[in-house]
């Protein structure tokens, strides 16, 4: 996994971020930042990021609170804006002032916040299997709430969700992997599952992931309301799993049409975790989109 990548950590924006990088010596404006989602780590990009053409510098970090990145205390430290600042500062630290960004799930929400806050630094953005945060929280129908109950469960005051999850972390988080459009654990690479399990069995990670969802309601909802009328002129690719919960309840690309002027729409085989299920297909679509938006 991740052949020819270096593993490192950097103290940026007040937290230590764990990341892997390939071609760190290059100063190309076509570097690609890959951001994972819940309840995973940067390992999800194995088989995708590490199979990109060699001329692209590639960076795969763990979001704050996840994997081997630092897990600060306090809900206020887990807004998408805080996470976005981490990643922008990481890219500056590595010498990349402009770059492409690819985000799945929570990573997609961080990517959208980065595009809103540092628009001129983003060459292109790819959002995987999400709808805008404000839309999800403002129009939470019974059907969506049933599929995505974890948004409200994880956001409950501490230590209620932490205590319940800690009783059997593998059971809870694997139910998340299987609940949004995957059929069974065979859809996931065993080595990746090993990394995911190691991460989510850490009590600090459990707490931090709950704080991530608390912050979405306590902070990000308001931030997104402030930016609700902004439509960005950045090449955007919206990808979604055809058999996932998002596709069942939303016209996913339609939800982004007032957020970006130029959207490439791409349905994918599989459910919410289609990058794990179909890494080669995911990589091919990303290479096509990003290469078409490369100087």
Q: What is the pLDDT of residue 27?
A: 65
Catalytic residue among 62, 86, 105, 212: 105
Q: What is the pLDDT of residues 195-209, one digit of tens each?
A: 999 999 999 999 999
Give the other-Cβ count within 10 Å of 130's Cβ: 27
Q: What is the pLDDT of residues 114-123, one digit of tens each?
A: 999 999 999 9
Q: Which fold has domain 6-291?
A: Rossmann fold (3.40.50)
Active-site residue flag, 272: yes
Active-site residue flag, 100: no
C-alpha separations of 31 from 55, 59, 233 in Å: 9, 8, 19
Q: What is the pLDDT of residue 26?
A: 64
This model's pTM is above 0.95: yes
Q: What is the pLDDT of residues 196-242, one digit of tens each?
A: 999 999 999 999 999 999 999 999 999 999 999 999 999 999 999 99
> Which is nearest to 207 in space by CA: 102, 105, 77?
77
> Who contacts 156 (Cβ-Cβ below 8 Å, separation ≥6)?
210
Q: What is the pLDDT of residue 181?
A: 74
Q: What is the pLDDT of residues 127-136, one digit of tens each?
A: 999 999 999 9
Indicate the domain borders of the chain.
6-291
Spatial separation of the C-alpha atoms in residues 253 and 233, rounded to whole Å: 16
Q: What is the pLDDT of residues 83-92, one digit of tens each?
A: 999 999 999 9
Q: With 70 as the cut, is the pLDDT of residue 67 above it?
A: yes
C-alpha separations of 204 from 161, 167, 248 in Å: 13, 14, 33
CA angle 227, 230, 236 (to 5 degrees): 115
Spatial separation of the C-alpha atoms in residues 3 and 235, rounded to whole Å: 29
Q: Evaluate the CA torsion angle 115, 120, 122, 123 in order and state its sign.
A: positive
């Amino acid at each position: 996994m991740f052949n020819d990548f270096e593993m490192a950590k950097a103290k940026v924006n007040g937290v230590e971020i764990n990341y892997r990088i390939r071609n760190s010596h290059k100063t190309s404006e076509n570097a690609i930042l890959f951001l994972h989602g819940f309840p995973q780590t940067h390992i999800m990009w194995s088989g995708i990021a590490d199979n990109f053409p060699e001329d692209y510098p590639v960076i795969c970090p763990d979001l704050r609170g996840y994997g081997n990145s630092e897990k600060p205390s306090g809900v206020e430290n887990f807004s998408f804006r805080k996470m976005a600042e981490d990643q922008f500062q990481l890219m500056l630290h590595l010498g990349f002032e402009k770059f492409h960004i690819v985000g799945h799930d929570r990573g997609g929400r961080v990517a959208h916040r980065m595009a809103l806050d540092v628009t001129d630094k983003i060459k292109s953005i790819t959002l995987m299997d999400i709808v805008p945060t404000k839309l999800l929280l403002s129009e939470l129908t019974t059907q969506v709430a049933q599929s995505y109950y974890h948004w409200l469960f994880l956001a409950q005051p501490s230590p209620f969700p932490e205590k319940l999850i800690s009783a059997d972390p593998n059971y809870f988080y694997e139910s998340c992997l299987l609940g949004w459009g995957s059929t069974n654990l065979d859809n996931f690479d065993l080595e990746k599952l090993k990394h995911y399990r190691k991460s989510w069995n850490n009590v600090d990670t459990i707490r931090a992931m709950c704080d991530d969802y608390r912050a979405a309601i306590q902070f990000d909802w308001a931030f997104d309301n402030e930016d609700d009328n902004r439509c960005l002129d950045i090449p955007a690719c919206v990808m979604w799993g055809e058999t996932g919960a998002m596709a069942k309840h939303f016209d996913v690309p339609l939800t982004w049409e007032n957020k970006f002027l130029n959207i490439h729409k791409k349905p994918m085989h599989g459910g919410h975790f289609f990058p794990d299920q179909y890494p080669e297909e995911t990589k091919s679509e990303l290479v096509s989109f990003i290469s078409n938006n490369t100087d």
